[in-house]
Chain A
Amino acid sequence: MEYLNSMLGPLAVALDKILTIPSLLIIIAGTVLGLVIGILPGFGGTVALAILLPFVVEMDYGVALGLMIAITSVTHTGDTVPSVLMGIPGTGGSQATVVDGYPMAQKGEAGRAFGAAFLCSAVGGIFGGIVLLFTIPIAKPLVLLAGTEHLFMLCLLGISMVAVLSGKRPFKGIVTGALGLLLAGIGGVPGISFARYTFDRPYLESGIPLVIVSLGIFAIPELTDLVIRGTQISKSYGLGKGLMEGMKDVFRHFGIVMRCSVIGTIVGIIPGLGASVADWIAYGHVVQFAKDRSSFGKGDVRGVLAPESANNAKAGGALIPTLFLGIPGSGSMAIFLSGLIMMGIYPGRTLVTEKLHIVWYIVLTLLIASILGTLICLMFAKWLAMITKIKIFYIAPVMMLIVVLGAFQATRVWQDLILLLGLGILGWFLKRFGWPRPPLLIGFVLGGMAERYLSISLQRYGLTWLLDPGVIAIGFLIVLSLFMPFLSRLFKKER
């Protein structure tokens, strides 16, 4: 009974906060922003959060979380629009949608594709949110058992999995993860009065601000690539009719929607697997189990239902390791986690004991935003489609302005802007030459935390913590994750 009260009490606090006009307006604003970001190809949730972070981090947690979670929840709802109408994935999580969504538009069934995609996105998002909700009472006792030594090992596990799972060349992922760790090491050392790699520059003594890293590594390269590509206008098909028909398809194939929502949630929980993995696995699943596969790739609505359910369900799954273990599984979760820390909300133990109402707030925001995003898309599909016609040359100067303004908020000195440009150039070359960038950001975010946990563990236990069974088990997982790509290649060769 006491346990139930400890769960429901914070829920009441969260409900009390969220069911107010200002909070709901913030969620609506975040939802609209997330939809627009999803519709503009090349941006995505990571860039949106990187740009938003410097502005919201000093505000009330309700505003900050409302915006961030709403954006994260619905980016993969909005990204359907360019995928279906233009054959260009709005984000990495809607690539599989193009395979059948674009042919549907070519056949004059874009409306049907939209109806199906938007509604199943809501179902997927709600499913992910419910899984997150039911994880809370399970995660709480587990998190309380974890000590600093386990948290240190989990940080390493998160970095290793993300590094190895991102990209076809895992070595490059490990290198960029190590680069992120090194960048995090610049500045003060926990526990002693010494600053590393500052080269006598006072600016670097407090370390590199996360905002600069995220904007430089993600926002500037994406913006640069959009400008290099030029106009966003390409052959775009009209909306047509069939919105209701598409919505009915969700109920006709409800089993597919639910199974792919499960896939998306599981993929979200595993660090290193992004939305693009979720949608391809879901697509592959539905094709594999279809009795008649001949229609796939030619405009089969099931080919839209599967990825769209999965990529939205992923949001709820991804929040589980982020909130309870402090392991962000993707670039956007890394930025979200950093935002939490900058607001004084630490993942893991503190969150499940003293600030459980914040977790409930996040769950409720996720659920509301998922439903709201779908409603807005269904009502304003035609208007949202017009956003795809905006030329990049109108967006570019606005984005430059926002990025520079956001970067300046980090520490409000000129060095922020110079560092931004330097990291932007680095980020662009990393992308150009095939070095995955999310491990760098995750290494940067987790590196500082890892060193702190390591320092505390060494102070408390010396080196004896290395013999802890939990530490050994996680260490084994780290080694396994590092060797997984090589083992799987070996296995494939033998077959």
Chain B
Amino acid sequence: MNNIRFGHINVIESLKQEGWSEKSFTLIFNLLISTVFMFALIEIKDFPQRAVAYPLVASIIGLVFSLLSFFGDLKNVGEVSKKQEDISTASIDQMDIASDRSIPPRMVYIRGAKFLAWFIGYYLAILLLGLMLSSTILCLLYIHIFGKARWWQNAVITLITIYLLFGIVATTFGVTWPTGIFNILADPLPVPWFD
């Protein structure tokens, strides 16, 4: 088990050296993507003939190239970097802007998880209180905690945002929103100017 080799690189020893680094996460993520394609291929066996061709082609292409990409990344794990190679190889000189690498990875994941927690909390609030009330609370809390604005600045920003947003989208675009289990503010409030 400890002697899995890829060329001259001992994979297990290299991963041990890397530890829980971003390169390891990259490999795990790569494997997960490959697993998705494998799963898609397995599911195809239950499809009627006319429904098979399209997902079959997509899954095979995805699986083959994801495994090629996996082995390509695996090769990088063992090699000593003579220069700091950026893992994020979605190069900024192509179509996608890469993640900022100036922040330590641990900090990135912690901040990312915190933001995700805010999203989940927002969803729970929407479920209970409906979108309008939960959005107001979100704006007030978020700006208070992170923006460090004074309470009256906070209130003004929140009120203007909620008024403009719900005034514009509710009345002008005819949009609906989730009302929550208690059905609070189920109907749009009469909004001066936009009505």
Contacts and interface: CB of A to CB of B under 8 A. Distances in A.
B126 to A, nearest CB: 7
Nearest to A437: B96
A405 interface: yes
**What DSSP secondary structure best describes chain B's contact surface?**
helix
Nearest to A191: B50
A229 B95 contact: no
Nearest to A92: B97
A111 interface: no
A330 B48 contact: no
Interface string A141-181: 00000000000000000000010011111011011001101
Nearest to A429: B29
B95 A391 contact: no
Nearest to B101: A432
Contacts of B115: 224, 227-228
Interface in B20-48: 22, 25-26, 29-30, 33, 36-37, 40, 43, 47-48
Chain B interface: which size bin? Answer: 35 or more
10 contacts: A44-B97, A55-B169, A162-B95, A225-B100, A393-B143, A394-B149, A394-B157, A397-B139, A431-B96, A433-B87
Nearest to A418: B123
Chain A interface: which size bin? Answer: 35 or more
B103 to A, nearest CB: 7
A410 to B, nearest CB: 12
Given A189-B51, A433-B25, A95 B95 contact: no
Given A55-B173, A55-B175, A405-B177, A433 B26 contact: yes
A434 B157 contact: no
Contacts of A172: 69, 89-90
B65 interface: yes
Closest 7 A/B residue pairs (Cβ): A178-B62, A274-B95, A181-B58, A393-B146, A393-B147, A434-B89, A434-B88
A175 B66 contact: yes
Interface of B: 22, 25-26, 29-30, 33, 36-37, 40, 43, 47-48, 50-51, 53-55, 57-59, 61-62, 65-66, 68-69, 72, 86-100, 103, 107-108, 111-112, 115-116, 118-120, 122-123, 126-127, 131, 135, 138-139, 142-143, 146-147, 149, 157, 161, 165, 169, 173-178
Contacts of A175: 33, 62, 65-66, 69
A296 interface: no
Given A178-B37, A196-B55, A421-B123, A228 B108 contact: yes
A405 B54 contact: no
Contacts of B138: 397, 400-401
A451 B26 CA distance: 32
Contact of B112 (A167, A168, A228, A434): A228
A174 B43 contact: no
Interface in A392-407: 393-394, 396-398, 400-402, 404-405
A21 interface: no
A424 B123 CA distance: 14
Given A175-B69, A178-B58, A432-B108, 10 more contacts: A95-B93, A162-B95, A182-B36, A225-B99, A276-B95, A277-B93, A400-B119, A434-B26, A434-B89, A434-B98
B69 A178 contact: no
Contacts of A224: 112, 115-116
Interface in A406-453: 408-409, 412, 414, 417, 421, 424-425, 428-429, 431-438, 447, 450-451
